[in-house]
Amino acid sequence: MRGHGIPCEDPPMAYAVFPAGEQDFSAPSGGDLSRSIFRLSDALRQTRANIWRYPPGSRGRRHAEHVQEEVFVVLEGTATLYLGDPPETFELPRGSVVVVEPGTALQVANLGEEDMAVFIVGAPAEQGGADYLPDAG
């Protein structure tokens, strides 16, 4: 198992546990650098998954994935998602879930006054297969 956390590599099982408060958040590779990311993808082989933290006023890059479908779960705060082209705006409180098919334009933002966190899962695990689009907001 790749990544950090508490690993188990005893065949036929392999897992990694990341206890609350022990996740290692870092700066993203691009876009709004005030955001931070916990790269669960480093411990995965078949899917991609990350937890993103967005301070108030921050936003991700608007993009459309080529082959990856994505699931968004709001963990803290309220996320604003801009979906489609032209973008439709959705205000999503904690516990909300969104499924986005490949080819759909999307952008995540925090327009609220408190921090927001979102868990994003994508499959297949392909990286870099997206078109980047003008900002929706």
Model pLDDT for residues 69-95, shown as the tens digit of each residue: 999 999 999 999 999 999 999 999 999
Tens of pLDDT, residue by residue over 9-22, are 666 778 889 999 99
25-132 CATH choice from 2.60.40.10, 2.60.120.10, 3.40.50.300, 3.40.630.30 = 2.60.120.10
Residues 6+ apart with CB under 8 A from 43: 1, 2, 3, 4, 5, 16
**The pLDDT of residue 103 is above 60:** yes
Instruction: At 14, list the tokens.
Output: 């392999």
**Closest Cα partner for 4 from 48, 50, 49, 40?**
40
**Higher per-residue confidence, 6 vs 45:** 45
Q: pTM score, two decimals?
A: 0.90
